[in-house]
Amino acid sequence: MNAPQEPATSTGPVRRFVTHGHVPQAETLGQLRDKIDALDEQIVALLAQRALCVRDATRFKLDAFQVSAPQRQAAVFARVRVLATRHESDFPGLPDIVEATYRTLVAGCIAGEERFFHETELILP
């Protein structure tokens, strides 16, 4: 029996969608992967900018509860879910994927912010 192989990256598609409305994003899998890699670079840069904002937000918080900000978390998850819903017709289930991604992202950012909180001091009036 032949071992499974990765798909060819320099040839055209071997399958097509049976539903109407699909818009191809590239002519080859290699081109598509290049596009995904470029998007990943932009996404990581944006996540780094977001992380810097989270770090700076530490300056405005008095205690660990304010660092975790559960109401803000809930608002963020609801907001990104609505944003993802706008694209759900192109990728069903995207709101669940985006919310799960943001839950992981926010948990990591809160952990970082807790560490940064201990590197700050209260400004006395």
Domain limits for position 44? 29-117
Contacts with 32 (C-beta within 8 Å, 6 or more apart), sequence order: 25, 26
**pLDDT tens-digit profile of 13-36?**
999 999 888 999 999 999 999 999
Which CATH number belongs to the domain containing residue 48 in this structure? 1.20.59.10
In a domain, 107, yes or no: yes
**pLDDT tens-digit profile of 97-125?**
999 999 999 999 999 999 999 999 999 88
Predicted local distance difference test score (pLDDT) of residue 21 = 87
**pLDDT tens-digit profile of 39-57?**
999 999 999 999 999 999 9
In a domain, 123, yes or no: no
Number of domain units in the chain: 1
Nearest partner of 116 among 48, 55, 66, 73, judged by Cα: 55
